[in-house]
Amino acid sequence: MHKVSDVKVEQDIMRINRKIASENRSFFEKNGITVFNIMGAIGSGKTCLIEHAIEELKDSYSIAVIAGDVIAQYDSDRFASHGVKVLPVSTGKECHLDAHFVEHALEHTDVKDIDILFIENVGNLICPSDFDLGEDARVVIVSVSEGDDIVLKHPVIFKLSDLTVVNKVDIAEHVGASAEKMVADAITCGCTRAIPTSCRKGEGLEEWVSFIRETLRT
């Protein structure tokens, strides 16, 4: 049960987040940075899909990454091995990133020549969708191993995303899931674009990278 005072605190948190997110957005615009907020459960393939995009795009664009895991070091090392700039963030016990985290991560970074910023959000499908970070595009990644009813169980995050990636389609048969259903469900929830991928086998990755290219500012 929420007390009235809890509701007030929550409203304040959301109001402050909106303000900082809009400051972040102006900052990104001014500096010509296109920002992707990558959301999805633990193990859905967020890191793998970002790594693939980095490999495809890093010769043409300068790329930075924020790894927002509770212990960010693991994914940070993976990203750093691709030669991109990794911005330090430690979310501690938080289950989502907010605009303030992103603002802090940028504070001590020379952003002058960054073209693309990937923000890997903390792994869950619930609260990250409540927090605008100032991004240009929101991407939600789900894997078939989460079960093919996962999309309809979490409609909000799909409705609020610009792209749904249904990942690990190569193992769909083995886990008894229909990737087609998950793609269709995402559209039903209000997401305008949904694609099936297998980050491991390469399926659908061209369209994933196309989405990024189409979103870029220039």
Q: Which is nearer to Zn ion, 7 or 95 (CB)?
A: 95
Query: At closest approach, how far in Å is the CB of 180 from Mg ion?
Result: 26
**What tokens were used for 8?**
């007030």
Query: At closest approach, how far in Å is the CB of 184 from Zn ion?
Result: 28
Q: Which is nearer to Mg ion, 123 or 134 (CB)?
A: 123
In what helix (H) or strand (E) does residue 109 lie, and over which residues does it extend? none
Put residue 122 in one of left, alpha, beta given phi > 0 → left and psi -120 to 50 → alpha. beta
Judged by CB under 5 A, does residue 156 bind Zn ion? Answer: no
Q: Choose among Zn ion, Mg ion, none what residue 96 binds, the Cβ cut-off being 5 to 8 Å by kind.
A: Zn ion
**What tokens were used for 60?**
């043409």
Query: How many residues sit close enough to Mg ion to count as binding (CB under 5 A)?
Result: 3
Map the footprint of Mg ion across residues 35-74, applying CB under 5 A: 46-47
Q: How far apart are CA 105 and CA 108, in angstroms?
A: 7
Q: Which is nearer to Zn ion, 97 or 179 (CB)?
A: 97
Q: How far apart are CA 6 and CA 9, in angstroms?
A: 5
In what helix (H) or strand (E) does residue 210 lie, and over which residues does it extend? helix 205-215
Residue choice 28, 49, 68, 75 for contact with Mg ion (CB under 5 A): 75
Cα 52 → chain centroid: 14
Put residue 155 in one of left, alpha, beta given phi > 0 → left and psi -120 to 50 → alpha. alpha
Q: Which is nearer to Mg ion, 46 or 52 (CB)?
A: 46
Judged by CB under 5 A, does residue 121 bind Mg ion? Answer: no
Judged by CB under 5 A, does residue 95 bind Zn ion? Answer: yes
Binding footprint of Zn ion on the chain (CB under 5 A): 95-96, 127
Q: Where along the sequence are the contacts to Mg ion (CB under 5 A)?
A: 46-47, 75
